[in-house]
Copies of this chain bind each other. A is one copy, B any other.
Amino acid sequence: MMQKPRLTKRHRIAVDAMGGDHAPGEIVFGALDAATSFDVDILLVGQEARIAAELTKHAGSIPSNIEIVDAAEVVEMCDPPITPLRRKRNSSIRIAANLVGEGRAGAFVSAGNTGATWTSARAVLGMVEGVDRPALAALVPSLTPQGFTVLLDVGANVDARPHHLREFAVMGHFYAQMVFGLERPRLGLMSIGEEEGKGNDLTKESFAVLAETGLNFIGNAEGRDVYNGNADVVVCDGFVGNCVLKASEALGEMIKQTLSAEFKKNPFRMLGGLLSGSALAGMKKKMDYTEYGGAPLLGVNGGCIVCHGRSNGKAIRNAIRVAAEFVEHDVNGKIRTKISELHSQERAEGLASGDQPAGQRS
């Protein structure tokens, strides 16, 4: 299901060709793959000569739906997030963001410096009207029928307030609609303990706020509900989401290493390992982040897909597909409408009760 692009129109996607551990080679390779697989136009942003050389290496002729946009500078992984706004305004990340800001592309994709990507997206694109803070949404493998659960925020913010979690819920809802094709994705609030009264100050306050959104709110989710298939979307503040996501990645890696070491212990096990190789590969494919390409930074006014620094061509290809679907489904338009409805509802209730509407607090 994750592999089929559902595009009815042609979209233009900007790709930061210089970002990531394997740039520009794998990025250009992935873009070429996407250009021949999907009905998209791709703007490859970066140092023109290097990109052209990579293109020629992989393709006899450059496909007509790929265009190079020159960007002299490169943001390094160690550069501070503010770099594309101050020191390197001609960097590929900044220019990719500019292309979206100017309406020349619907979304941009980067596997480069994550902080610099967020900062550029937020500063150049601004926020979707009514949204206070962006959130990074990760697709994690799970026991849901679709095989994945959306977890957000996984680190764009720390120290959220209840109305931020409400924004994350709305954004996660429409993103899950898009990627899973679900009408009413089940939405859980990450907490400790399932009952309404359980959790910390933030989740206790947020429970009532989420219950009033009209979304398919199923109540508190525990850490286990990220994986056990009980929820399609789990919302939490970026600190908790980041800790859970990074711990999970490391646990997966540890299990892989442990299994691999166990398989090498004797010849029977080695033979077993060979025979069961396809089973392990099947599991690996299911757990493989490159299948779903990247995590969107939701809430910014334009598409921004953040890829893992170690992305290969396949991850980039899939991130471009996700970016095109994001534009196709007008996820931002849906978020804007829903948030506006919630604010109107709140204002009406506020006028009735004489309270300050929560949407006006910051």
Considering the chains assembled together, what is the distance between the CA atoms of A210 and B254 in angstroms?
Answer: 28
Chain A: interface residue total (CB-CB under 8 A) = 61
Assess whether A1 is interfacial by the CB under 8 Å rule: no
Contact: A247 with B250, CB < 8 Å? no
Assess whether A102 is interfacial by the CB under 8 Å rule: no
Assess whether A269 is interfacial by the CB under 8 Å rule: yes
The answer to whether residues A201 and B244 also contact, given A227-B253, A250-B224, A255-B283 and a CB cut-off of 8 A, is no
Cβ < 8 Å to B, chain A residues 267-289: 268-269, 271-280, 282-283, 286-287
Considering the chains assembled together, what is the distance between the CA atoms of A265 and B224 in angstroms?
Answer: 27
Contact: B273 with A279, CB < 8 Å? yes
Chain B's closest residue to A259 (CB) is B283
Copies of this protein in the assembly total: 2
Chain B's closest residue to A264 (CB) is B279
Contact: A228 with B254, CB < 8 Å? yes
Contact: A244 with B244, CB < 8 Å? yes
Contact: A259 with B244, CB < 8 Å? no
Q: Which of B155, B200, B244, B274 contacts A247 (CB 8 A)?
A: B244
Q: Which of B158, B268, B283 contacts A200 (CB 8 A)?
A: B158
The answer to whether residues A226 and B250 also contact, given A159-B201, A259-B279, A268-B275 and a CB cut-off of 8 A, is yes
Shortest distance from the beta carbon of A60 to any chain B beta carbon, whole Å: 39
A-B CB proximity, top 9 nearest: A272-B275, A272-B276, A223-B246, A224-B250, A223-B247, A262-B279, A158-B200, A227-B250, A223-B243
10 residue pairs of the A-B complex, CB under 8 angstroms, read A159-B200, A223-B246, A224-B250, A226-B251, A236-B243, A240-B240, A252-B255, A258-B283, A263-B276, A265-B278
Please give 18 more A-B residue pairs, beta carbons under 8 A apart, in addition to A191-B239, A236-B243.
A158-B192, A158-B201, A159-B200, A159-B201, A192-B239, A199-B239, A200-B239, A203-B239, A222-B246, A224-B249, A225-B250, A227-B247, A227-B251, A259-B280, A262-B282, A262-B283, A263-B276, A272-B277
